[in-house]
Amino acid sequence: MPPIEERLERDLERAARPAAPDPGATFRDVTRRRARRTTVRKVQTVALVAVVLLGTVGTFAVLQRNFTGADQPAGGGSASTPSPSTAMPAFAPIAIPSDPTKVFMVDGLSSFPVCGGSMIEGNFLGTGPTYAYVFRKASDAGCDTDTWVVAIQVPKDAAGTSTTFVEGGPLDCQDPAACFVWANPDVNGDGQDEIAIVTETGASTTSFELYAAKHTATGWGLNPYTGDDGTPLRFEEGGSVTHQAGTYCAETAIGRRFVAWDATSTDGTTYDVTETTYVIQDGLVAQQPQHTTAPADGLPPHQLDGCGGTIQNSSS
């Protein structure tokens, strides 16, 4: 018999057994005392049974929770369903003509015709996949202007089936072949991609700018990361034997950091390297540059290494 049942049986027997009377007490006193003791013992017995029952119920609840709790969601509720604002967009990218000189209209993108488009997919809004584009503005005469814009496709409704565009720029592009969406890095690891746009290409170097979407009380905006002079920051990749440059992301104890570096050499074997780390605080804030030396095969990472996303080599 379990210990708790033995204790219950023993206490019930003790409660039912009459107590020995005091030899000096009168019959009426004895009767009164026995009645009082009987009442007290009955109350004690009821209390004991209640405690035992409560303990049994509590033990059963603990056991049930131990065996089933691991499969139950926190709080006892069902798993939450993502709100429409964070659901994956259901729209498709727009079709870009294969002929870069063909002029066409984009529904939702201002009121001007465009040409020479490029596109990349990324999580630019922080709510799921969407698409970023670079377009060249066209004129009545055709695809002949030097004005370029960057745009992101944004859902107009909660279901994500109707879209419009958020526009940024103009971009500082002079060569039509050297102005396109290059990559979709996440330079600070917050889950929202930036847009890397190539604005210039040289014999051995590529220059790019970073744009980011930000939601405000008036809606989405699309702006570049700028320097102290207010102009878009420009970063380089590539170089020659005597000059190299690149960018990468480094994971630190306080989060991901974006790093741009520049290296020079007189002999192509040993390089003087300058690395500048940027912290995003309502923009890219440059920290104090660090200077080191490195052999040719020991230069820092490049081509947005560690920043996530993908890189495409041209607008095609």
Domain parsing of the chain, residue ranges? 3-76, 84-298
Res. 92 pLDDT band, cuts 50 70 90: confident
Q: At what angle do helices 3-16 and 27-68 cross, to 10 degrees?
A: 160
Q: Which residue has the higher pLDDT, 281 or 161?
A: 281
- The average pLDDT across 211-217 equals 90
Judge contact between 148 and 135, C-beta under 8 A: yes
Res. 280 pLDDT band, cuts 50 70 90: confident
Q: Give me the percent of the chain exceeding a pLDDT of 90.
A: 49
Q: Which pLDDT does position 89 carry in this prediction? A: 55
Query: What residues have CB less than 8 Å from 211, skipping those under 6 apart?
Result: 150, 168, 194, 195, 197, 222, 223, 224, 225
DSSP H or E segment with residue 8: helix 3-16
- The average pLDDT across 259-288 equals 93
Q: Which pLDDT does position 142 carry in this prediction? A: 92
Q: Which pLDDT does position 88 carry in this prediction? A: 54
Q: For the chain, what percentages of helix, strand and coil (3-state, to nearest 5) are there? A: 20, 35, 40
Q: Which pLDDT does position 2 carry in this prediction? A: 55
Is it the case that residue 289 has pLDDT exceeding 60? yes
Report which listed range, 3-12, 225-234, 302-311, is most confident. 302-311
Is it the case that residue 19 has pLDDT exceeding 70? no
Cα(316)–Cα(266) distance, rounded to whole angstroms? Answer: 37
Res. 205 pLDDT band, cuts 50 70 90: very high
**Each residue of 227-245: pLDDT tens digit?**
888 899 999 999 999 999 9
DSSP H or E segment with residue 33: helix 27-68
Q: Which of 81-85, 127-131, 134-138, 303-307 has the least mean pLDDT?
A: 81-85
Is it the case that residue 177 has pLDDT exceeding 90? no
Res. 283 pLDDT band, cuts 50 70 90: confident
Q: Which pLDDT does position 215 carry in this prediction? A: 87
Cα(103)–Cα(126) distance, rounded to whole angstroms? Answer: 31
Res. 91 pLDDT band, cuts 50 70 90: confident
Q: Which pLDDT does position 219 carry in this prediction? A: 84
**Each residue of 64-85: pLDDT tens digit?**
444 333 333 333 333 333 333 3
243-252/270-280 β-pairing: unpaired
Res. 159 pLDDT band, cuts 50 70 90: low
- The average pLDDT across 164-182 equals 89
